[in-house]
Structure 1
Amino acid sequence: MNPELVTLAQSASVTLVGLMATDAWERTRDGVVALWQRARPERADAVAAELDNTREDLAADAGVEGELAAEWQGRIRRLLIDRPQVAEELQRLLDELAPGATAPPATVSQHAAATGHSRVYQAGRDQHIVDR
């Protein structure tokens, strides 16, 4: 197997397991399942369940992180052997999930109309109103 693909599988597995206990988990999980959905759709549901099981195992015992990463390295390596064209997409996913990578900015749009003697209060965050 191509040494670059082995390195990619190792990096992906460590990143995957490392992000299981973070706020980025849902995005990570969705990205990995989507990757499998495109490459091996018949395995996507099983991979989703395996990800959930791995996260539960990690939550129960953080000491098994290395073992769990090794399991995922094998799964990812087999996927890359079977579908080498997935490597580029996997690398893009890792780049998106890398520490310091920013999520696309959220767009907030607020609209209001006041008539008569009514008032409109809008805020993008905390708002404290004191009427006297």
Structure 2
Amino acid sequence: MEAIMLALASQAGRALVQTMASEAWPLIRQGLTALYARIGESRANEVTNALEDSRRSVLNGGSTPEVVASRWQGRFEALLEVYPEQAEELREVIIRATSAVDTESDRPFTVGGAVKHGNSQIIAHNSGGGTIWS
């Protein structure tokens, strides 16, 4: 898979999680459902359910934002590997949703790489619910 497709899948996974507790959530859920509907209606229903399950998991603390973003990155990589023509639509869904989240304060979840802090390592940071240390 091309590096640009991998980067898009990664960006899409992070953007998805960043919008989960924002007003942009319906935009990204609807956009991704429509994208998968073009592939097949059963896929769209499956994705809608998976999106809601992922959102509940992050909001309830069942999974970290980082883990959920990584899982969706994998889904998006699989999508783009089979349907590379969907890359532009995926990019547009992400742009529309993230542009609806105006400021960092509107993004309750920050998803990024691990960061060292003293002898500890920040694995994931959820500004709405704390930092996970290892």
TM over 0.5: yes
RMSD over aligned Cα atoms: 1.8
Matched residues, percent identical?
A: 31
1:51 is matched with: 51
1:13 is matched with: 13
Contact 2:31–2:93 (CA<8 Å) still a contact in 1? yes
Q: Kindly name which structure, 1 or 2, has the bigger radius of gyration based on alpha carbons.
A: 1
2:123 is matched with: none
Pairs aligned (count): 102
**Larger relative strand fraction:** 2
Equivalent positions of 1:61-80 (< 5 A) are 61=61, 64-80=64-80
1:63 Cα deviation (Å)? 6.3
Which letter maps to 1:12? A
Q: Which runs of 4+ in 1 moved over 2 A?
A: 39-42, 98-102
**TM-score (normalised: structure 2):** 0.70
Contact 1:33–1:47 (CA<8 Å) still a contact in 2? yes
Contact 1:39–1:86 (CA<8 Å) still a contact in 2? no
Q: Which runs of 5+ in 2 are unaligned?
A: 103-134
Equivalent positions of 1:80-119 (< 5 A) are 80-99=80-99
Q: Specify whether residues 81 and 54 from structure 1 end up closer, same or farther in structure 2 by C-alpha distance, changes over 3 A only.
A: same
Distance in 1 of aligned mates of 2:100 and 2:79: 27
1:108 is matched with: none
Contact 1:95–1:101 (CA<8 Å) still a contact in 2? no
